Amino acid sequence: MSFAISGVNCAAATPLNADLTPDLGLFTAHCKSLLANGCDGIALLGTTGEANSFSRGERKAILEAALKAGIGAEQLIPGTGLAAAPETIELTRHALSLGVTRVVILPPFYYKGVGDEGLFASYARIIEAIGDSRLRIVLYHIPQVSGVPLSPGLIGRLIEAFPDTVIGIKDSASDLANMQAIVAAHPNFSVLAGADPLLLPLLKSGGAGCITATSNLVADSLRIVYDGVSDPARAAEVEAAQARINAWRSLSNSYVQIPTIKAMIGLKSGNTGWNRVRPPMLPLTDSQLGELRGKFEALP
Amino acid sequence: MSFAISGVNCAAATPLNADLTPDLGLFTAHCKSLLANGCDGIALLGTTGEANSFSRGERKAILEAALKAGIGAEQLIPGTGLAAAPETIELTRHALSLGVTRVVILPPFYYKGVGDEGLFASYARIIEAIGDSRLRIVLYHIPQVSGVPLSPGLIGRLIEAFPDTVIGIKDSASDLANMQAIVAAHPNFSVLAGADPLLLPLLKSGGAGCITATSNLVADSLRIVYDGVSDPARAAEVEAAQARINAWRSLSNSYVQIPTIKAMIGLKSGNTGWNRVRPPMLPLTDSQLGELRGKFEALP
């Protein structure tokens, strides 16, 4: 098997300044620390990154800042999928213009119940309009947020029509059986767990890796799981690492996930600026933060 | 009672050229014909208008074309709500810069389950950032598409905080009791039916009017309902008009609604260019079009 994308990739959170603009300096420092702590790639500007609360201009500035800070184009996997195809095309072309060839693309997420034919037409139109043989797309299945599921049939059609371009899927639906079915049907296609607890079981089923939120906090443990999964001698270490990941993930789900993950990065790094989120997200309350701090200190 | 927005307003469909760009000439001709057929206002760039499949540049061009064609700024109520607040602010400022002061604003629709506090913060930030006393906002409750309902509590808070700005709601959830409750709680706030069958019952309950899709086809009948609702002598005529609206509406729901409405405008106007939609919507198939034509000819 050879995957076009694999390993441990972080759905990086985006720190904000007091005026709720992106804190580019803190963001790029965070990305570098993620890479130093075991991540293979930074899937910036995803759901966890609050990308859909930023303007296109802000999104471009965030990607450019990462490159300018010295992170390699091959380590960056930005989300570029918007509701309107022309804007998805614009953001994807912008990434390609910077040498960033791997992107995560949501389906058009405003209209619901449009069907596989319509979603296929939308992705096809985007790929054909961009017309760049370097482009590598990770599909994004997160129906509980987008409201637009990507069916196995649609995935198969896209792989068949664009085998060099449609290289993988970030599956955040937390349905292991669905991921296993995609792996079985398309062995060289990269199925990436979007939910941390499924990293180990997915890898055991032939999955390619992950793009997850908890890797903002415990990238080192995700690295252990990914590197050790095939080594029987490391089984206990791998199980322990996955258990640690699950404990951190579980705490991050105590309140609304994105502000909680950011608050936990703040607790870990000692920088309370991480508590900021952009509406419609709200920061944790002082009482929630106090409660979180107690539980945080007890984490493995 | 005095409503800041009322009457029959059309959620205008957007015709497309063969390359799926907006057909501005046909669009403005359609808008003028809607006004000539009884509409008070054109709620362009809404869900039915496929607004969320257009870029911001295309949306601006569509609004500018309507003004350039001689439609009054006071007759235009564009949708300006996007997932990202900075882009909502940009589109709303653009409308205001053209003298268009009434806009329909969706809640930020990517993130789900964010709660009333977060949605209040999002609308408040948009209103305060724009900082224009001319601005008049129609909230947009269409949870079956946006995935983000606007609760009665949130609506009340927004009216209280911004009484001159938050003037109404387009309620497309087809829940008459919910609309009646909003009318009862806020008598001068404009509750507008988003679903045509509810125009008459909502008006009888003190509602302000409608913004609907079927008015693309039978604006004359909506006009009769709106004008005649309080006149006992016109009761039979009004009931018949509402029944005609319901029949057209019902046919438009035979297939996916937006392509079906557009196909029906095409059948009515003799211009098959109306069949075009932008992905993720797909045009009706030839077989569906044939079936639709037969039923269309039998409409009252």
Residues lower than pLDDT 50 in chain A: none
Provide residues of A within 8 Å CB-CB of chain B. Answer: 47, 52-58, 82-87, 90, 107-115, 117-119, 121-122, 125, 144-147, 256, 258, 278-282
pLDDT (average), residues B250-259: 96
What is the residue-averaged pLDDT of chain B?
97
Residue A56 contacts by C-beta under 8 Å, 6 or more apart in sequence? A82, A87, A90, A91, B87
Q: Are A177 and A207 in contact (CB under 8 A)?
A: no
Sheet hosting strand B209-212, strand order edge to edge: B41-42, B7-10, B209-212, B190-193, B166-171, B136-141, B102-105
Q: Crossing angle for the helix pair B24-36 and B215-228, nearest 10 degrees?
A: 20
Q: Are B150 and B141 in contact (CB under 8 A)?
A: yes
Provide residues of B within 8 Å CB-CB of chain A. Answer: 47, 52-58, 82-87, 90, 107-115, 117-119, 121-122, 125, 144-147, 256, 258, 278-282
Residue A28 contacts by C-beta under 8 Å, 6 or more apart in sequence? A65, A66, A68, A69, A71
In sequence order, which ranges of chain B are alpha helices (DSSP H)? 24-36, 56-68, 85-97, 115-130, 143-146, 152-161, 176-185, 199-204, 215-228, 235-252, 257-269, 286-297
Between CA B183 and CA B176 the distance in angstroms is: 10
pLDDT recorded at residue B1 = 56
CA distance B193 to chain A (A): 20
CA distance A266 to chain B (A): 21
pLDDT recorded at residue A86 = 98
Q: Write phi, then psi, for B135 (nearest 5 degrees).
A: -60, 135
pLDDT recorded at residue B2 = 82
Interchain proximity B56–A87, CB inside 8 Å: yes
Q: What counts of helices (H) and strands (E) characterise chain B?
A: 12, 7
What is the model's pTM?
0.97
Interchain proximity B82–A83, CB inside 8 Å: yes
Tell me the one-letter amino acid at B158: L
Between CA A261 and CA A267 the distance in angstroms is: 10
For residue A22, whether the previous peptide bond is cis, meaning omega lies within 30 degrees of 0, is no
Per-residue pLDDT band for B83 (boundaries 50, 70, 90) equals very high
Give B-chain residues touching A53 at CB under 8 angstroms.
83-85, 108, 110-111
Residue B172 contacts by C-beta under 8 Å, 6 or more apart in sequence? B47, B140, B141, B142, B144, B145, B194, B195
User: Cα angle vertex B126, ends B213, B1, to 5°?
Assistant: 55
Pairing between β-strand A7-10 and β-strand A209-212 as defined by DSSP bridges: parallel
pLDDT recorded at residue B205 = 97
Between CA B71 and CA B78 the distance in angstroms is: 13
pLDDT (average), residues B235-251: 98
pLDDT recorded at residue A1 = 56
Interchain proximity B52–A110, CB inside 8 Å: yes
Q: Are A189 and A169 in contact (CB under 8 A)?
A: yes
Between CA A147 and CA A141 the distance in angstroms is: 9
Between CA B84 and CA B89 the distance in angstroms is: 9
Q: State the virtual CA torsion across A230, A231, A236, A242 in degrees, nearest 10.
A: -30
Give B-chain residues touching A258 at CB under 8 angstroms.
111
pLDDT recorded at residue B263 = 98
pLDDT (average), residues B46-61: 98
Q: Based on the number of CB atoms within 10 Å of its own CB, is A29 exposed (0-12), middle (13-18) or buried (19 or more)?
A: middle
pLDDT recorded at residue A262 = 98
Give B-chain residues touching A140 at CB under 8 angstroms.
none
